[in-house]
Amino acid sequence: MNFWKNLEKPILALAPIAGVTDSPYRLICRESGADVVYTEMISIDALYYNSKKTLQMLEFNKKEKPVVLQLFGKRPELLPKAIKIVEEFGYSGIDLNFGCPARKVVAHEGGVSLLKNLDLCRELVQSACESTKLPVSVKTRISIGKGKKMVTVFDFLEKIKDLPVKTLMLHGRSYEQAFSGEPNFAEIKKAKQMFSGIVLANGGINSPEDAKKMLELTGADGIGLARGIFGRPWLFQQIKDYLEKGKYSEPSLSQMKKIILRHAKLNEKMKGKHGIIEMRKHLCWYFRGFDGAAKFREKFVRVETIEELKKTLKEFK
Ligand SMILES: Cc1cc2nc3c(=O)[nH]c(=O)nc-3n(C[C@H](O)[C@H](O)[C@H](O)COP(=O)(O)O)c2cc1C
């Protein structure tokens, strides 16, 4: 049941990213070297109240496994039912979000602001662990607040230390840092020493060199990749190559086009025409930084069918 212990280290994980780590992109990342993939955050409340849209988001391809479903919310009493639904879909693990800084989540005291109420954090983790045999993991940040009001990941870990949490993904920035600045390597290292389960270090990993540095400076068991894989799912394989052989290569344009087309077809298969619309942002990311990409970006943001995409890709030389 605990798939985590079968993964070879260092573990390369696709971090949860709302609006990005849907089923098609998770599969693309698994095929590109990710060892485990996380879903976008899913509302506990929405599952509890059987939201049709949320239930649709739970559909996934078994080839993605191991795939961890991330839940967010602040009502432990809703977790048993929400987790039962997740189990029925066949997910490999359940993750709880204690790190999201989005205004609308924080305004409802969810995500990272849950750290301000450690008793509630504990209740959520305990309720999850008692509701399932699937491995439970948590994702959080280094800290929230300043001075005497600061709550840290260490306070959080102390509070849940007797609960059977298997994995911690730690974003090495504080709430106040949001998404910029260097991750705090020393604090991640300290968390790794304190937590007995698996630690995945996250934040600012945009290249194989960043990945190596993160692993060396923190001693973490693996890493979580987020914005670094926007338009670059092959970063997973590049990291593996760099860690094993000290070098890596960039995919050729034709290899890239093949991956992009597969990605688009998976999107269309799962979501119909809307899948192609959702693909547009990925297309812009895939061609970021290329000479002449601006002209093509205008075409990519209008693409409506696979045929149109094929034609535009053919034109891109
Ligand atoms: C657009 C966007 C959406 C995100 N959605 C989630 C989410 O659903 N759940 C979560 O725990 N973190 C979420 N994150 C945070 C990432 O998982 C990650 O912790 C953060 O981006 C830092 O890693 P990076 O510097 O490699 O991007 C999101 C980040 C971004 C940029």
Interval 41-89: pLDDT, tens:
999 999 999 999 999 999 999 999 999 999 999 999 999 999 999 999 9
Q: Considering its fold, how many domains does the chain have in total?
A: 2
The amino acid sitting at 238 is: Q
- Atom 4 of ligand 1: nearest residue by CA position: 17
Quickly list DSSP for 171-225: ESS-TTTTT-S---HHHHHHHHHH-SSEEEEESS--SHHHHHHHHHHH--SEEEE
pLDDT of residue 104: 86
Average pLDDT over residues 304-314: 95
Same domain, 183 and 293: no
pLDDT at 294: 85
Answer yes or no: do 202 and 271 share one domain. no
pTM over 0.95: yes
In this structure, the answer to whether residues 177 and 48 fall within a common structural domain is: yes
Q: Kindly tell me if the per-residue pLDDT of 244 is higher than 90.
A: yes
* Mean pLDDT, range 31-36, rounded to an integer: 98
Domain identity same for 203 and 262: no
**225, 245, 265 - which closes a domain:** 245
Q: Are residues 116 and 95 in the same domain?
A: yes
By residue range, what is the domain housing residue 49? 3-245
What is the reported pLDDT for 7?
98
Return mean pLDDT, the chain.
96
Going by pLDDT thresholds of 50, 70 and 90, the confidence category of residue 316 is: confident
Overall average pLDDT of the 231-257 stretch: 97
Q: What is the Å distance from ligand 1's center to 158 Cα?
A: 24
Please write the tens of the pLDDT for every residue from 129-175. Answer: 999 999 999 999 999 999 999 999 999 999 999 999 999 999 999 99
CA-to-CA distance for 32 and 233, rounded, in angstroms? 6
Per cent of the chain over pLDDT 70 is 100
Whether the CB of 203 sits within 6 Å of ligand 1: yes
198 pLDDT tier (thresholds 50, 70, 90): very high
State which of 245, 263, 278 marks the end of a domain. Answer: 245
Domain check: are 258 and 239 in the same one?
no
Backbone phi and psi for residue 170, each to the nearest 5 degrees, phi listed first: -115, 115
CA separation (Å) from 270 to 2, 85, 158? 28, 20, 42
* Residues 96 and 216 grouped into a single domain: yes
Q: Indicate if ligand 1 lies below 6 Å from the C-beta of 281.
A: no
Instruction: Please check whether residues 269 and 238 belong to one and the same domain.
Output: no
Catalytic residue ranges: 100
Give 260-267 contacts, CB < 8 A, sequence gap 24+: 260/286, 260/309, 260/313, 261/306, 261/309, 261/310, 261/313, 262/28, 263/24, 263/25, 263/28, 264/306, 264/309, 265/306, 266/23, 266/24, 266/27, 266/28, 266/61, 267/24
Q: Residue 1: its pLDDT value, please?
A: 86
225 and 279 share a domain? no
User: 224 — phi, psi (to 5°)?
Assistant: -115, 125
Tell me how far the alpha carbon of residue 223 lies from the centroid of ligand 1, in angstroms: 13
Residue 41 Cα to ligand 1 middle (Å): 10
Task: Report how far residue 78's alpha carbon sits from residue 74's, in angstroms, rounded to the nearest whole number.
Answer: 9
Domain check: are 233 and 293 in the same one? no
Q: Which residue has the higher pLDDT, 300 or 39?
A: 39
Ligand 1 close to Cβ of residue 57 (< 6 A): no
